[in-house]
Amino acid sequence: MIAARGLSIRTGAGHAAVRSADLAIRPGERLGVVGESGSGKTLLALAMIGMVPEGLQVSGEIAVGGTVVAPGDEAAWQRLRAREVAMIFQEPMSALNPLARVGDTIAEPLMVHRGLTRSAARAQARELLEETGIPQPERRLDQYPHELSGGQRQRVLIALALACDPALLIADEPTTALDAAVALRITDLLVRLARERRMALLFISHDLAAVARTTEAMLVMYGGDIVERGATDRVLADPAHPYTKGLIAARPSLAQRGRRRLPTIPGTVPPLEALAEGCRFAGRCPVELPRCVHLRPAATATASGSAACHLLGAAP
Amino acid sequence: MRVPFNLALGAALVALVLAVALVSLVWTPHPHAALDVANKFAPPSAVHWLGTDQLGRDLVSQLMVAARNSMAVAVLAVGIGCALGTGLGLLAAARGGWTEEAIMRLSDLGFAFPALLFAIMLAAVFGPSLPNVVIAIAFINIPTFARVSRAAANQVWRRDYVWAARAAGMGRFAISRDHILPNIAAPVIVQMTIEFAVAILVEAALSYLGLGAQPPNPSWGRMLSEAQTLMYLAPQLAIWPGLCIVTAVLGFSLLGDGLRDITDPRLTRVRAA
């Protein structure tokens, strides 16, 4: 089990990009994180693998398999990466070294972490590629990234992430750069791999349909706060937080094609320093109360899980 | 792709000098140190293509052996300087923090230290010789390569594939070896080519001052200094070694410029516009 408690990430200027987030992922669980750009979902994911960029301050507690790891303990994180937590990235076109053969890229962590010989690592790399469903895995080993399509590269990156059999795979918008048909196949592949390997999956996306298809539980993030969480199907069917409601209402639907303008959430995500101290959604919220700007709402139980909104709780 | 003119000319000149140096290993028209005092200051002839010097030694043979010495010094010195400097640059980029700061300030110190002064110091302590010239030139090359490789490596460290390698549990040194080094090879090779030209020039200067190759081992620089007093009597003795230095330095400079033009994507865009 991998868990974060009271995880905060601050910029050098002291603005919170993630505010005391709690999350826990049990073995085999598939958890989605949904939010706009700038909602802190990628930073949250990077913190779970100890790779928050330099210059940002991480505080709070991260526990991997029962042991607490300090956010800045690079040596400890390096031992955990690949074996406990692995990650795949948004942009498969640039996430592979253009000068290295695909087989070598996958074989390298196998040799480093598992002490395999070059030939054993190569054989293992072939098996991993086969597991990701890439056509002609044997041939791919000796190919360079420019010879592969975007979907094939994402499969190679998945094979690389799976190399040391991690307990948790973090997928940071793995399908954003891919076309819709390939994206569907990649999300299905992730679900299949998570099931077969009893591997937890942290699936980050702004695509509600992809999250619905991939995950059992989900978190909704806005402005660095987790505003709602619960079982994926129930949150999507019965959202409690005004932001989640707005997000779901803004989904295009074939049934309503052409009948009306797509609803939107007015305004844009303000820059970090302009976010309200209380509820981050204050200022764009359609049902805002006077206290929302100053007072941060606590998570309150809802029908589908919990949400942080003053409308849901008892008056303070 | 069209080969730029400077690259083609530079490569041709470098190939010429290298070919002469290699041929001198197995063949020269005459033994380069053979004296023939009766035949001193001979004009160019079928026997002595460029004539002989003040001791009757064959000029072509001396120039050929000098080319070999010059190339050997340049390759060894730049090779050593590049290996150590690039290693330090990679280390600086991989570790960051105070390690990077220390390496870069030390290399600033190295930059402030003139090669000539260092070579004179070495000569004073160990006596003048070509190996000391190699050490001196290698030493001044270390900070250059440390800077070039660190700057390039810091850019590569920000690439997505380095993040992917880190997420796959690779350590800083394994990433430096497998991902950073191959991707900074282009600027480092360009720098090497340019430093070859500098090394040839420095070797000639040190030999001119008597700190490099010792007689009878010929060097373009020492040939120049010996010809200096005979400028009015036999100007060709200064002109030919001078031309050799110009050819070698120009060749490596043009080659370096040409390689940079075709490997630096920022310059490619400017050229295409």
Q: Do B163 and A49 touch (CB under 8 A)?
A: no
The reply to whether B270 touches chain A by the CB within 8 Å rule is: no
Q: Can you give the residue ranges of every domain in chain A?
A: 2-215
What is the average per-residue pLDDT within A61-67?
Answer: 88
Query: Do residues B42 and B148 touch, judged by C-beta distance below 8 A?
Result: no
The model's confidence at residue A180, banded by pLDDT at 50, 70 and 90, is confident
**B71-90 residues touching A, CB cutoff 8 A:** none
Q: HSE on the CB side for B262, CA within 13 Å?
A: 14
Nearest CB to A95: which of B160, B178, B182?
Answer: B160
Q: Which residue of B has its CA nearest to A96?
A: B161
Q: Do B170 and A87 touch (CB under 8 A)?
A: no
Which pLDDT tens digit goes with each residue over A119-161? 999 999 999 999 999 999 999 999 999 999 988 999 999 999 9
Quote the pLDDT of residue A256: 66
Residue B116 has pLDDT above 80, yes or no: no
Residue A108 has pLDDT above 80, yes or no: yes
Give the rounded distance of the alpha carbon of A295 from its chain centre: 28
CATH superfamily, domain at A2-215: P-loop containing nucleotide triphosphate hydrolases (3.40.50.300)
Q: What is the CATH number of domain B5-272?
A: 1.10.3720.10
Which pLDDT tens digit goes with each residue over B185-207? 999 999 999 999 999 999 999 89
What is the average per-residue pLDDT within A248-261?
Answer: 74
What is the average per-residue pLDDT within A49-59?
Answer: 90
- Mean pLDDT value across chain B: 88
Residue A251 has pLDDT above 90, yes or no: no
Q: Do B168 and A161 touch (CB under 8 A)?
A: yes
Quote the pLDDT of residue B52: 85
Q: Do A82 and B161 touch (CB under 8 A)?
A: no
The model's confidence at residue A314, banded by pLDDT at 50, 70 and 90, is low
The rounded distance, in Å, linking the Cα atoms of A36 and A148 is 30
Residue A265 has pLDDT above 90, yes or no: no
**∠B234-B238-B243 over CA atoms, to 5°?**
135
Residue A316 has pLDDT above 50, yes or no: no
Q: How far is B81 from chain A (nearest CA, A)?
A: 25
- Mean pLDDT value across chain A: 89
Nearest CB to B167: which of A87, A98, A105?
Answer: A87
- Percent of chain A with pLDDT strictly greater than 70: 97
The model's confidence at residue B267, banded by pLDDT at 50, 70 and 90, is low
3-state class percentages of chain A: helix first, strand second, coil last, to nearest 5: 35, 20, 40
* From A263-267, B87-91, B221-225, B251-255, the region with the lowest mean pLDDT: A263-267
Q: How far is A83 from chain B (nearest CA, A)?
A: 8
The model's confidence at residue B22, banded by pLDDT at 50, 70 and 90, is very high
Q: How far is B85 from chain A (nearest CA, A)?
A: 22
Name chain A contacts of B161, Cβ cutoff 8 Å: 94-98
Select the more confidently predicted residue: B121 or A31.
A31
What is the average per-residue pLDDT within B209-238?
Answer: 88
The reply to whether B170 touches chain A by the CB within 8 Å rule is: yes
Q: Which residue of A has its CA nearest to B173?
A: A112
What are the phi and psi torsion angles at B46 (to 5°)?
-65, -30
Burial of A75 (0-12, 13-18, 19+ CB in 10 A): exposed
The model's confidence at residue B69, banded by pLDDT at 50, 70 and 90, is very high
Rg of the Cα atoms in chain B: 22
Quote the pLDDT of residue B234: 86
The first and second tokens of residue B71, run together, are 């190339």
Quote the pLDDT of residue B244: 94
Select the more confidently predicted residue: B19 or A55.
B19
Q: Do B160 and A89 touch (CB under 8 A)?
A: yes
Residue A313 has pLDDT above 90, yes or no: no
What H or E segment, with its residue span, contains residue A34?
strand A30-34
User: Which of A118, A199, A215, A130 has its CA nearest to residue A164?
Assistant: A199
